[in-house]
Structure 1
Amino acid sequence: MVLGQGATMSLMDISKIFSLLQPKQEDEDNEQCRALNNAVSSNDVTLLSELLSQESYRRFVNARSGWGVPVTPLRTAAALGHLKCLELLLEHGAEIDSLDVKAQTPLFTAVSGKHLDCVVALLKAGADPNGSQYNNCSPVLTAAREGDVDVLRELLEYGAEVDVKPKVPEWASSATACRGPLYISAVYGHLDCFKLLLLHGADPNYNCTDEKMLARIKQPKTVLEMCLRYGCGMEFIQLLMDFGADVYLPTLIIDKTTKQNEALALLLKERVCPKTLMSQARLAIRRYIPLTNKQPAIDSLDIPLLLRNYLKHDTCEII
């Protein structure tokens, strides 16, 4: 009976969300609204400026129009990478985190389109770097999947959640748990994104220290296991170890089919050889630095530049 109630509430919530997102018929058919979107689509900044100077058009700045998925002019500008139009719309009161019927924000569409300049402009104007809570994906997950390290850096520097979890149902299998940004960047072989996530505080033991997750899934796959399984290479394994991954968590089944023997050997060596004192000190100091603005916080420390670089993994292991 409780299960039935939960399902009913879930369906009600979904219906409510989509009823809020659906554009009104009169907006969809409105000539002014279509004119704004057409000006943005053609990247005609002069025409857009002229239209927005008129109240009869300006009041439709947040209205949706178009076939298929009706969208606001700001969403169109973000999706197409039309920076000047996007900035002009923001100046005239465009709602920065407005949602389309897919629960995607303009920032999400700019990230998906790899439009770095639009991403930066939206973040500076106050866009939520995490996107919408109603969307199963997020800007960080998208950038990590695409290997867009510049976009990912901007999102993280503006406070995006580094260990964002994809929204999956409670009954999801262990396979669905392996979808965090670290997992995704490793599986797709994006080493720069992988390191950037770790530098901004991503948990190298993601999933395996979450009590709620462990209560539901007996043996969730560690990032180390996923890196070995997909043959990510020694660089990924070394980074995970440098950033404090628990090398005893993976359950290793070593046989003739095991990939990346060098990477596996590196992991097995780490299990019997303790870290250097300097490495241990670096891990301890980084744990006490807040996740947000971690890099600036390190730069502000009153220690020699060489040590600050060491904390940011900018130098070799021995200094």
Structure 2
Amino acid sequence: MSLMDISKIFSLLQPKDEDEESEQGQTLNNAVSRDDVALLAQLLSQDSYRKCINARSGWGVPVTPLRTAAALGHLRCLELLLEHGAEIDSLDVKAQTPLFTAVSGKHLDCVTALLKSGADPNGSQYNNCSPVLTAAREGDVEVLRELLRYGAEVDVKPKVPEWAANATACRGPLYMSAVYGHLDCFKLLLLQGANPDFNCTDQKMLARVKQPQTVLDVCLRYGCGAEYIQLLIDCGANVYLPTPSVDKLTNQNEALGILLQQRVCPRTLMSQTRLAIRKHIPLTDKEAVIDSLDIPLVMRNYLKYNRSETR
């Protein structure tokens, strides 16, 4: 490729100088990039700049000022843009929302501000990934907690065509947190109602997969440890679903022992009662609902899998 060809490509990516809206959008973006709240407020006090608040600008991947603020974690700029009517779920060319970029950057304060202002906790339907998947993969339990508190889907909704269905496409947040060794995220997802068996609620997708892997299977194969297996069992996993052959497992004696013991010992009545009650509690913020129940503290703690009798 010649130098002239490269120059042409960059000229196409660069915003046109004569485009007034693009210039003003770039000025807003520059103020946000520098976290210059005073300048941003001054610009937004002018009608011409307020009209360009959702304009995309910049080299390569043009973005809105709100997306820039979310990506860089500039909370004050982000809040100011929202106050002036910035489009909260605007998409970039990758179909990523400002919330998605804030989650990717682990900017908890920006994530919370966007969610409070009405951002879709599930991100864009056109993006194969999602904020919850990203938080689970990165092990960011506080960001994950906020997303779930505002109603994010705890189980994966595959965003691939049916013909592309495979076992990998069925692996949602619970799988991610297990494979990457994020026990806190794994526990949070289960306590918020994640499916402990397949972590995928799309029956058409599951039907097309030759042999879907259970979460138990994945935890054993990846050597997640006894804590993961016990959590799955406590949260209602079906221990009789297929699991890998014993000879294929390494250093998993304790975890496998817990599973085999559970297969020959039925669940206690208390355990089954807890599962039945939790099943009828709304998925969003289960702990808050349990805390509001007019029952003894020891029972509330039991429903929350909290072994201590007091908080």
Q: Name the TM-score, length of structure 1 as normaliser.
A: 0.88
Q: C-alpha offsets along residues 108-163 of structure 1, whole Å, 9 cap, x if unaligned?
A: 00000000000000000010000000010000000000000000000000000000
Partner of residue 70, structure 2: 78
Does residue 131 (structure 1) correspond to residue 123 (structure 2)? The answer is yes
Partner of residue 138, structure 2: 146
Aligned mates of 2:19, 2:136 — CA distance in 1: 36
CA RMSD of aligned residues (A): 2.1
Gaps (5+ residues) in structure 1? 1-21
Partner of residue 290, structure 1: 282
The correspondence for 2:179, drawn from 161, 169, 187, is 187
Q: Name the TM-score, length of structure 2 as normaliser.
A: 0.90
Aligned mates of 1:268, 1:212 — CA distance in 2: 31
Asked if the contact 1:149–1:193 (Cα under 8 Å) also holds between the matched residues in 2, the reply is: yes
Partner of residue 308, structure 1: 300
Aligned mates of 1:301, 1:110 — CA distance in 2: 35
Partner of residue 271, structure 1: 263
Partner of residue 171, structure 1: 163
Q: C-alpha offsets along residues 26-45 of structure 1, whole Å, 9 cap, x if unaligned?
A: 75873211110000001000
Q: C-alpha offsets along residues 65-98 of structure 1, whole Å, 9 cap, x if unaligned?
A: 0000000000000000000000000011100000
Residues 199-214 of structure 1 mapped to structure 2, 5 A cutoff: 199-206=191-198, 211-214=203-206
Aligned mates of 2:14, 2:55 — CA distance in 1: 8
Aligned mates of 1:116, 1:279 — CA distance in 2: 35
Gaps (5+ residues) in structure 2? 1-12
Aligned mates of 2:227, 2:20 — CA distance in 1: 52
Deviation at 1:24, TM superposition (A): 8.8
Aligned mates of 1:180, 1:27 — CA distance in 2: 43
The correspondence for 2:43, drawn from 39, 51, 54, is 51
The correspondence for 1:238, drawn from 230, 234, 245, is 230
Partner of residue 11, structure 1: none
Q: C-alpha offsets along residues 158-199 of structure 1, whole Å, 9 cap, x if unaligned?
A: 000000234223123533234200000000000000000011
Asked if the contact 1:81–1:118 (Cα under 8 Å) also holds between the matched residues in 2, the reply is: yes
Deviation at 1:299, TM superposition (A): 1.3
Q: C-alpha offsets along residues 236-290 of structure 1, whole Å, 9 cap, x if unaligned?
A: 0000000000000123312165441210111011100112221111111111112
Q: What SS does structure 2 have at the residue aligned with 1:130?
A: coil
**Judging changes above 3 Å, is the alpha-carbon distance between structure 1 residues 198 and 303 closer, same or farther for their aligned structure 2 residues?**
same
Partner of residue 108, structure 2: 116
Partner of residue 4, structure 2: none
Partner amino acid for 1:107? Answer: L
Q: Percent identity?
A: 79
Q: C-alpha offsets along residues 183-219 of structure 1, whole Å, 9 cap, x if unaligned?
A: 0000000000000001111010125775323421232
